[in-house]
């Protein structure tokens, strides 16, 4: 079963991914894959350097993420070029990981920009984690050390909850204690297992 998991920054998506892993899901972390495909020595990194020049490399030959971010920031064309290099490599890695899973596995694709990139139709179920704006800002400031303006800017650059809800087959509300989120994920897991058993 192919499950998409998404949620705005600070919503609790990573907590849900952790819990689903503990319950037995195979979680594929697209952020992690996006790092792996441009790791030192990869063809992906060579393509990035070819596109943007050696200034995006640090002295150790690894990608200088801050330099790359500065290069593509506020330039749609450059950002698109970067996406055209990274996205196919990530998709290829994710497909290989999913193909290696057993037939009855619940494979969860953890994708921050699932809705923004129009990927919902590719999944049997789309799980959206939702939290109120102020709760998310507080988490990002208190637990991730972001400044409040930076947290609000990141949130404003992402899809709205209304757009995420349109894509969702399952919604997890995460405004309460973590124990409540765990219970909601347990119920979700039971539902996903039932789907797999009924196929």
Give the residues lining the site for ligand ADP (CB under 6 A).
Answer: 7, 9-15, 139, 143, 174, 177-178, 181
Q: How far is the CB of 194 from ligand ADP (least distance, A)?
A: 25
**Of residues 48 and 140, the one with the C-beta less far from ligand ADP:** 140
Alpha-carbon span 183 to 104, nearest angstrom:
23
Grouping H, G, I as helix, E, B as strand and the rest as coil, residue 33 is helix
**Of residues 56 and 164, the one with the C-beta less far from ligand ADP:** 164
The vertex-28 CA angle with 25 and 34, nearest 5°, equals: 170
The pair of three-digit structure tokens given for residue 16, joined into one six-digit string? 């849900």
DSSP letter string over 26-64? EEEEHHHHHHHTTSTT-HHHHHHHHHH-GGGB-TTSSB-
Alpha-carbon span 168 to 67, nearest angstrom:
35
Q: How far is the CB of 135 from ligand ADP (least distance, A)?
A: 8
Q: How far is the CB of 120 from ligand ADP (least distance, A)?
A: 18
**Of residues 14 and 71, the one with the C-beta less far from ligand ADP:** 14
**Of residues 10 and 44, the one with the C-beta less far from ligand ADP:** 10
Q: How far is the CB of 72 from ligand ADP (least distance, A)?
A: 21
Q: How far is the CB of 94 from ligand ADP (least distance, A)?
A: 18
Can you say whether the dihedral through the CA atoms of 141, 146, 148, 151 is positive or negative? negative
The pair of three-digit structure tokens given for residue 8, joined into one six-digit string? 């705005």
| DSSP element (H, E) containing 111 | none
| DSSP element (H, E) containing 21 | helix 13-23
Q: How far is the CB of 69 from ligand ADP (least distance, A)?
A: 18
**Of residues 53 and 132, the one with the C-beta less far from ligand ADP:** 132
**Of residues 20 and 48, the one with the C-beta less far from ligand ADP:** 20
CA nearest to 140, candidates 15, 12, 17, 34: 12
């Amino acid at each position: 079963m192919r499950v998409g998991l998404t949620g705005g920054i600070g919503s609790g998506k990573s907590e849900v991914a952790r819990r689903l892993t503990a319950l037995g899901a195979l979680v594929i972390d697209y952020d992690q894959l996006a790092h792996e495909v441009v790791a030192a020595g990869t063809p992906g990194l060579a393509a990035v350097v070819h596109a943007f020049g050696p200034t995006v490399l640090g002295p150790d030959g690894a990608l200088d993420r801050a330099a790359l971010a500065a290069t593509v920031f506020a330039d749609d064309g450059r950002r698109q070029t970067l996406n055209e290099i990274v996205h196919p490599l990530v998709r290829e890695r994710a497909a290989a990981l999913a193909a290696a899973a057993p037939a009855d596995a619940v494979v969860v694709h953890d994708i921050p920009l699932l809705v923004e990139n129009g990927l919902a139709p590719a999944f049997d179920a789309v799980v959206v984690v939702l939290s109120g704006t102020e709760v998310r800002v507080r988490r990002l400031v208190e637990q991730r050390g972001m400044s409040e303006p930076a947290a609000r800017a990141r949130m404003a650059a992402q899809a709205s909850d209304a757009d995420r809800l349109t894509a969702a087959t399952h919604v997890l509300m995460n405004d309460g204690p973590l124990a409540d989120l765990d219970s909601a994920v347990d119920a979700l897991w039971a539902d996903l297992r039932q789907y797999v058993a009924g196929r």
